Amino acid sequence: AKGEGKGQWRRYQAALHNTFLERLELRAELDKAVARESFVVHYQPIVALDTGRAAGLEALVRWNHPERGVLTPDHFIAVAEESGLIVPIGNWVLAQALRDAAAWWRTLPADAAPYVSVNVSARQFRDAGFVASVRRHLTAAGLPPDRLVLEITESLLLRDDEQVRQDLATLRDIGVRVAIDDFGTGYSSLSYLRQVPADILKIEKSFIDSIAAHHQQRALVEGIMRLASTLDLTVIAEGIEHTADRDALAEVSCPYGQGYLFCRPLALPQVMDWLVGARQ
Ligand code: C2E
Ligand code: CA
Ligand code: CA
């Protein structure tokens, strides 16, 4: 039994070691991927719940891995964050998303051209020159600033950082909108919402799931809707998978939603087809 214990310990050590090596390897591969720009952006529609039409499209990064195929962010975002590579990756996504949005803007009638919503990590937002790079990419793409939404997280706001506050104000002054992503998962203190310059709340999927079946869930979302209306924020419900949940959300006057029920994230070539199809 003693020997077995030792064997288990060795295996445990090996697993730790592996994980460390795997992370190092992933980090090295990610470095190369940044240099080669081996990423693609997929887009998931954000739909108006009353009409089913796309108001916007959320840009979601994928890594085109040479051996493992197309990888979703859960495979690499943690390493990208801790290595700082999220900054160049995020800037690449921003530039790409603005170019794609400019193409929709040029192709579709103005009232049908969706905005593009780009995720920005706290680290990327706080990187010196972020605001300047947003301006530069908007100008380069020729996209009106009101066609861009930046999705930030509560954690960025909770630092109570004066520079962050100023940068958010500057971005909104030029017409860029700001969404608070995964709303409800952060901290209990809502007081920061009073002073925070934001336009949109995205309610996290766990609050949306089975809202139709659970009274408390529904009451909670109604509470968020009231809060949002007081603060003059619009609301997007994330991760809607069932018609019953969509209907319950419409009943509590939630204006926008996103989820597999409407559409999964699409590769760029499919986006225009979906937009044109959804308009009919
Ligand atoms: P998120 O911003 O909360 O994005 C929503 C995630 O939920 C996406 O996963 C989307 O594909 C998925 N989703 C959408 N509808 C449904 C649904 O009905 N059911 C379920 N189960 N899932 C749904 P994805 O694309 O794997 O992205 C995961 C996370 O990675 C994102 O969560 C976001 O935090 C991060 N991320 C993605 N792209 C970027 C980026 O360009 N920069 C940064 N910093 N983070 C990114
Ligand atoms: Ca998001
Ligand atoms: Ca989210």
Q: Which of 196, 207, 258, 182 is nearest to 233 (CA)?
A: 196
Mean pLDDT of 255-272: 97
CA angle at 14 for the pair 12 and 16, rounded to the nearest 5°: 70
Average pLDDT, the chain: 90
Q: Which residues contact 209 (CB under 8 A, 6 or more apart)?
A: 217, 239, 241, 245
Any atom of ligand 1 within 6 Å of the Cβ of 245: no
Q: Which residues contact 160 (CB under 8 A, 6 or more apart)?
A: 192
Convert the pLDDT of each residue in 83-135 to its tens digit: 999 999 999 999 999 999 999 999 999 888 999 999 999 999 999 999 999 99
Convert the pLDDT of each residue in 149-206 to its tens digit: 999 998 888 877 889 999 999 999 999 999 999 988 776 566 677 777 899 999 999 9
Q: Rounded to two decimals, what is the model's pTM?
A: 0.93
Integer Cα distance of 177 and 171 in angstroms: 8
Cα 60 to averaged position of ligand 1 atoms, centre (Å): 6
Neighbours of 252 (CB within 10 A): 17
Tell which phi-psi region holds residue 115, choosing left (phi > 0), alpha (psi between -120 and 50) or beta: beta
Any atom of ligand 1 within 6 Å of the Cβ of 184: no
Any atom of ligand 1 within 6 Å of the Cβ of 61: yes
Q: What is the pLDDT at residue 2?
A: 46
Please state the atom number of ligand 1 nearest to the C-alpha of residue 153: 34
Integer Cα distance of 176 and 101 in angstroms: 14
Cα→Cα distances 252→56, 233, 235, 280, Å: 21, 15, 11, 27
Q: Whose CA is nearest to atom 25 of ligand 1?
A: 60
